[in-house]
Amino acid sequence: MRRKLTDIETKFSQTHTAGKESITALKRALHESEFKLLETQRLSHIGTWEYDLRSGKVHWSPEIFRIHGMDPRKGEPSYSELLTQYPNYSEVSTKSKREL
């Protein structure tokens, strides 16, 4: 019985270690992918932004801040500031909000 328990503990330990290594590898791959995306945006001078229709929050990539000459430490623009820069977005946003 003790030997069987030891075998189970060993297998659990090996599986747990393998799981940790898999998570570490996935995190590393994610960080590399994020780095490549940001570097590609910087080199091509193309950025990304997101607007969450439910929360009203805006997120800009670092390159969008550079394109607009804004300091990322001051945070993303508000929804109303976004509409000032992209006036045609208001109609699309209003339609999308109704569809939620």
What does the domain layout of the chain look like in residue ranges? 1-44, 45-100
Predicted local distance difference test score (pLDDT) of residue 79: 79
Any idea what the Cα angle at residue 32 is, between residues 70 and 67, rounded to 5°?
A: 15
Predicted local distance difference test score (pLDDT) of residue 57: 86
pTM of the model: 0.58
Residue 85 DSSP SS3: helix
Q: What tens-digit pLDDT sequence spans the chain (100 residues)?
A: 556 556 665 666 666 666 777 888 898 999 999 999 999 999 999 998 888 888 888 889 999 899 988 899 999 988 788 777 777 766 655 555 555 5
CATH code 3.60.40.10 for 45-100? no
